[in-house]
Chain A
Amino acid sequence: MPQPGMPLVESLNVLREIRGDDEVVLTVMGTAREWMALGEPHPLDWIYVPSSMGQAPSLGLGMALAQPDKQVIVCNGDGCMLMNLGSLVTITNQAASNYTLIIFDNGVYEITGGQPTPATSGNAPLVDHPALARAAGFQQVFVFEDLDEWRESARDVIDAPGPTFVHLAIAPVPGAVGPRSPGPAPARAQDFADAMQA
């Protein structure tokens, strides 16, 4: 678990600033909550609310496979990642070069009250997420603990031929609540599909 870690909002804002107009950004849980608060939605934003916790990397993989010319950036939490570690292998097996998975690691289940994940003991991490990614076959693995370094490197990281794994050390947000769906999910899915296929 990062100590103290980057602020979640600022780390997401870096992504917002460098995001290309034809790039998909998939957010879930805390990243979805803050992404929505950062400004106007983009047609290629997939706010994965409601979600099936753990499935964001797999959902994004499907998008990347369907649209190889579009970069797909998945913003996942560490708790979500732990629910679906096998997806790391699925992703590397498919070798989608247009796929970036960013883990915003705060070490806790933030929206349920900040309970530590099984990968955390007290304030100490028990699991090396980047090592897990490497072991699962990711060739491109980037680790950032400093916001300025993330800001300076983010565009190059996204442009690296994927699949790419990015680990960001993030400070928990005490008292944070879960994200609210920004509208009826079926209609949002249809709008997103229209934008993807435009």
Chain B
Amino acid sequence: MFTAPQVVGLLQELSFTHVVTIPDSTLGQWEDDLKACDEIEYVGVCREGEAWAVAAGLYVGGATPLVMIQCTGLFESGDSLRNALFDYRLPLFAVIGYRSFLNQSTLPGDTCLTFTEPILEAWGMDWVLYDQAENTSEQLEAIAAHCLRCREAGTPGVALVAEGRA
């Protein structure tokens, strides 16, 4: 699993200025370190669709925001995501937690496993799954390269990060 210092280091390396987020059991473990980081502003929102709109405003204002939500929030985000990424073509990058990918101990038969990847495909997103199972340093490097590739291309991107319990 990625540690909070690893994640904060990654986001600093990528010069993100804001993290727009709602925590889940995995992403929430990074929250204290993100809030303690002077170089990154933590923006907690009440519903995931908001995250894309706040990030869109930050982006056109000259900031470099990251959207960080669970896949259930991706499902909720549809119209807001569509508007920011496709109507206005804003190249926002997101870390999306993939609930139950590593195990289904708390939610056997979790339908997040059924819908997450097809929905990312349906949106035509440049997404990559990072399973966090081993070689986390290499995976963090891969996320960095993925993000930079999206920035270079001026396109949105999603780092789909595997999670266990809900």
A173–B24 alpha-carbon span in the complex (Å): 44
Closest to B41 in A: A65
Contacts A55-B49, A185-B87, A196-B61 given; does A62 touch B44 at CB 8 Å: no
Residues of A within 8 A of B (CB): 46, 50-56, 58-67, 84, 86-87, 89-90, 93-94, 185-186, 189, 192-193, 196-197
Contact (Cβ within 8 A) B50 A84:
yes
Contact A52 to B84, CB < 8 A, known contacts A62-B65, A86-B50, A89-B46: yes
Report if B55 contacts A (CB, 8 A).
Answer: yes
Interface, chain B (partner A; CB < 8 A): 18, 20, 41, 43-47, 49-50, 52-63, 65, 79-80, 82-84, 87-90
The residue from A65, A67, A193 contacting B18, defined by CB atoms under 8 A apart: A65
Q: Is the CB of A52 within 8 A of B53?
A: yes
A80 to chain B, nearest CB (A): 12
A-B contact pairs, 27 of them (CB 8 A): A51-B83, A53-B79, A55-B52, A56-B53, A62-B55, A62-B56, A62-B61, A63-B58, A64-B61, A65-B41, A65-B43, A65-B54, A65-B57, A66-B57, A66-B60, A66-B61, A66-B63, A84-B47, A86-B50, A90-B50, A94-B43, A189-B60, A193-B59, A193-B60, A196-B60, A196-B61, A197-B62
Provide the bound-state CA to CA distance between A46 and B54, in Å.
Answer: 14
A52 to B76, CA, bound (A): 13
CA distance A93 to B45 in the complex (A): 9
- Separation of A186 and B65 alpha carbons in the complex (Å): 18
| Set B52, B61, B88: member contacting A65, Cβ < 8 A | B61
Q: Given contacts A62-B65, A65-B18, A189-B88, is CB(A55)–CB(B83) below 8 Å?
A: yes
Contact between chains at B79 and A52 (CB < 8 Å): yes
How many angstroms between the C-alpha atoms of A7 and B83 in the bound complex?
Answer: 30
Q: Contact partner of A55 among B46, B50, B90, CB < 8 A?
A: B50
CA distance A52 to B44 in the complex (A): 20
Further contacts, 9 of them, CB under 8 A, given A66-B62, A193-B62, A197-B62: A55-B49, A58-B57, A61-B57, A62-B54, A62-B56, A66-B59, A66-B60, A84-B50, A186-B87
Known contacts: A90-B44, A94-B43, A185-B88. The answer to whether A55 contacts B53 by CB under 8 A is yes
Instruction: Report chain A residues within 8 Å CB of B83.
Output: 50-52, 55
Nearest opposing residue in chain B for A53, CB measure: B79
- Assuming the A-B contacts A55-B50, A90-B50, A189-B90, are A67 and B80 also in contact, with contact meaning beta carbons closer than 8 angstroms in the complex? no
B18 / chain A contacts, CB cutoff of 8 Å: 65-66
Check if A58 sits within 8 Å of B89, measured CB to CB: no
Q: Is the CB of B58 within 8 A of A66?
A: yes
B residues near A197, Cβ cutoff 8 Å: 61-62
In contact, B61 and A67 (Cβ under 8 angstroms): yes
Count chain A CB atoms within 10 A of each CB in B43, B46, B84 and give the residue with the most.
B46
Do A50 and B61 contact each other (CB < 8 Å), given the known contacts A58-B45, A59-B54? no
A90 with B62, Cβ < 8 A, contacts A50-B87, A58-B45 known: no
Neighbouring B residues of A66 by C-beta, 8 Å: 18, 57-63
In whole angstroms, what is the CA distance A61 to B18 when docked?
13
- A86 near B46 with CB under 8 A, answer yes
